[in-house]
């Protein structure tokens, strides 16, 4: 097996000896690498991730069975970030050599621009009409709100439902619905020393089954991406309502 071309950020499966590599294609200030355990056994998958320069970390993707787990996320800064400690234009994800022989993980990239290759993902425009749309696994919604107030609403009846919201100001918010308690910790990491990603990543954990996010449009794109499993995403919905 050989290194897989990940330049489009599309959904691919990394396995031992077959890493994912995106080279000089990262352009946004804040980005997320999503990984989902696809191993056909209840074992965690350690992934070695390297960015530009000396950036390196290991992300441990939790064990899952029955396709009912959540993704593990690495948020990282791109070349558009401001300040020290960041600015990766490339990223490589490799299954750690000490992982089990059958270890594998699906990976895809998210940002305002990524993925440019939406193969394997459900990429569509979110209409600002107050209607609820399905928010299934691999869903990516984008919208460009005009200069007025909106409410972005997400609902799910499944435990520990993850999703990511990229705003137009170079920030990302990771939301968890139906958490067992307010102290629940999703698997969200940054490269050590990536101060921009650390500062501009927020994590919002709620025990509620829904969340309403107020926003004010500025004619710039927002992106919302699902970070949960097929089973966990069943019946999840997303709604964008203009308030005028």
- What residue ranges define each of the domains in the chain, with the CATH number in brackets? 4-242 (2.60.120.260)
- Give the model confidence (pLDDT) of 143-175 as tens digits: 999 999 999 999 998 888 999 999 999 999 999
Report the pLDDT averaged over residues 216-237. Answer: 83
Measured between alpha carbons, how far is 60 from 48 in angstroms, rounded to an integer?
9
Q: What is the DSSP string of 76-89?
A: EE-TT--SSS---S
Residue 230, pLDDT score: 53
What's the pLDDT score for residue 63?
A: 83
Contact 64, 50 (CB under 8 A): no
pLDDT in tens, 173-211: 999 999 999 899 999 999 999 999 999 999 999 999 999
Tell me the mean pLDDT in the region 222-227: 95
Q: Are 107 and 20 in contact, with CB atoms under 8 Å apart?
A: yes
29, 200 Cβ separation under 8 angstroms: yes
pTM: 0.94
Report the C-alpha gap between 155 and 43 in whole angstroms.
Answer: 29
What average pLDDT does the structure give for the chain? 91
Question: Could you give the residue ranges of the DSSP H alpha helices within the chain?
Answer: 195-199, 230-233
Model confidence at 231: pLDDT above 80: no
């Amino acid at each position: 097996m050989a290194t897989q071309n990940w330049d489009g950020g599309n959904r691919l499966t990394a396995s031992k000896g077959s890493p994912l590599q995106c080279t000089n294609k990262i352009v946004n200030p804040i980005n997320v690498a999503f990984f989902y355990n696809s191993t056909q056994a209840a074992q965690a998958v350690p992934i070695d991730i390297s960015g530009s320069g000396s950036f390196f970390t290991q992300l441990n993707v939790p064990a899952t069975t029955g396709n009912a787990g959540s993704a593990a996320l690495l948020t990282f800064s791109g070349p558009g970030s401001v300040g020290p400690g960041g600015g990766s234009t490339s990223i490589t994800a490799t299954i750690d050599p000490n992982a089990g022989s059958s270890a594998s993980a699906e990976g895809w990239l998210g940002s305002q621009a990524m993925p440019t290759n939406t193969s394997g993902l459900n990429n569509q425009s979110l209409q600002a009409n107050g209607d609820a749309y399905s928010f299934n696994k691999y869903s990516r919604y984008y919208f460009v709100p005009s200069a007025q107030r909106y409410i972005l609403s997400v609902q799910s009846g499944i435990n520990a439902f993850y999703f990511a919201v990229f705003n137009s100001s170079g920030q990302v918010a990771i939301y968890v619905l139906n958490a067992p308690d307010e102290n629940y910790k999703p698997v969200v990491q940054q490269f050590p020393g990536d101060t921009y990603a650390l500062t501009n990543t927020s994590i919002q954990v709620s025990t509620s089954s829904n969340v309403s996010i107020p926003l004010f449009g500025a004619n710039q794109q927002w992106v919302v991406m699902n970070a949960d499993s097929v089973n966990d995403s069943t019946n999840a919905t997303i709604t964008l309502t203009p308030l005028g």
